[in-house]
Amino acid sequence: MTKRYFVLLCAAMVMPLARYVPAAEAKKNVLMIAVDDLRPHFGKVYDTPQVLTPNMDKLASRGVTFKRTYCQAATCGVSRSSLLTGRRPDTTHVLSNGGCFRNAGNWTSLPHYFRQNGYVTAGGGKIFHPGVCDGLEFGEDRLAWSQPYYHAPCPQLGSLPCAEPRGPKTRPYSWFSNETATDDQVPDGMIAMNAIERLQNFTKLGADSPFFLAVGFHKPHLPHFAPKKYFDMYSLENIDLPKNTHVPQDLPTVTWNNCNEFLSYNDSAKEAKEVHFSEEQPLSDTAIKTHRRAYYAVTSFVDAQVGRVLDTLDELGLTNNTVVMLWGDHGWHLGENNEWAKHTNFEHATHVPLLISSPGGQEGGVSEALTELVDVYPTLADLAGLPVPTECPMNSSAVDVCTEGRSLAPLVAKPTTPWSSAAFSQWPKGGGMGYTLRTDRYRYTEWVGYDSKTHSPQWSVQHGSELYDFVEDPTETMNHVGDAKMAELVSQLSSQLHAGWRNSTMH
């Protein structure tokens, strides 16, 4: 064998290894879909078939539905900062929609992590809460996106393009059925079109350029505006009423949220005034049904946009190598517990939808494990084939990449895998903090003082506590904290809450 032939033979053997990565080791694409204010009560997937969501049902059939996922705080900015950094609110120091996580540490966000690992990263719509970090132009994180970020017209409204009915300083309508607009003429429709165009362009990149695409839909956030055809899917007389429209008995005075977001619209404020709406007085049945119908309509509208994006993924032949995740940033009250919107520690505010379809994962699987949105970051890294961030130390301000969640990949592979014994959420109010713990059967909450300098609870400063039993009382009608028979359980749950997520055991 000549020396020249030997060199050519070696080159031929080496070149394929340099150009192709074995399928088992290849990085997978990621399509992450965020749906603002989406509660886990829709479609067949979440046992609410009266809310029509065929496309999210289809996504669920291709992957795993997480039935018991919880946000870290029931408001957009706090929840998204936690999800996109993999750290909890007391670590991010983001306790309101106006906070930026970079004030606590110059951390690598979820999309930035994928960019660092060789991904083409692109986003559109509402992923980070808008206007808090680097600004709308940069999708709030200028380091995260390798392609220009996309916002549809009027991103602050996220509904009809700037001609939606409103006054200069007022918001007259909390819902509106638009008789002339098409899907493509409203922002979420435009966001879907942009995502479709991105996917088409990604097919030109080649196998060695995986993509991370984040698609953030604004609806069903207030105001509940959508093309008329979606309202026509629901007749008012067939809309269901909540099973419980009253606050729990023996509720601490600090607990009830006065529904300011919902009542900031003139129509809902007028309805509230007509019945003297208060903590003890719900809206009329007609008003409740009207607002539930509007929420259902915009949920079906968003589902249609999700379907357009997923259909394109299929048509382009990208589905088999793409991890698809859909999540809502927090839950939503539609009159349950006599609450409207979010901003509580009740089940309807903290409970969120999470759907994951991953190549090689279960199809049509259902997980009842207690999971959290803080798990999203390590989960997507794990499923995509990237190094999984390690657990954050107690002080992680100088640690670029770490997580206070855990990868859900084992549950995607086997939904019945033993998992955490609790999920943790919190909500600031009156200068203090409500910390809440959700176990398999119970929700336990303590409203305590809060040290804003150390961003930590003051457990000795008590403003009230709550205990709900979801086996005996699934709609949270009674606070059992004062029940002497529950004293030992309260003590156990209080210790578990104080011990925190780091000491949450497997079960």
Catalytic residues: 76, 129
At a CB cut-off of 8 Å and minimum separation 6, what does 157 contact?
164, 187, 218, 223
Pairing of strands 64-70, 371-372: parallel
CA distance 349 to 343: 7
Whether residue 220 has a cis bond before it, omega within 30° of 0: yes
Give the largest Cα separation in the chain, rounded.
Answer: 96
Do 338 and 279 contact (CB within 8 A), yes or no? yes
Do 346 and 42 contact (CB within 8 A), yes or no? no
Single-letter amino acid, residue 231: F
Which H or E run includes 11? helix 3-19
Tell me the helix, strand and coil percentages in the chain, rounded to 5.
Answer: 35, 20, 45
From the CB of residue 491, how many other CB atoms can be counted at a distance below 10 Å? 10
Please compute, for residue 42, the number of CA atoms within 13 A of its CA located in the half-sphere on the CB side.
35
Do 225 and 196 contact (CB within 8 A), yes or no? no
> Per-residue b/e over 198-213, b at no fewer than 16 CB within 10 Å?
bbeebeeeeeeebbbb
CA distance 86 to 103: 16
Do 346 and 45 contact (CB within 8 A), yes or no? no
How far apart, in Å, do the first and last CA atoms of the chain sit?
A: 64
CA distances from 373 to 84, 174, 319, 369, 478 (A): 9, 28, 24, 13, 27
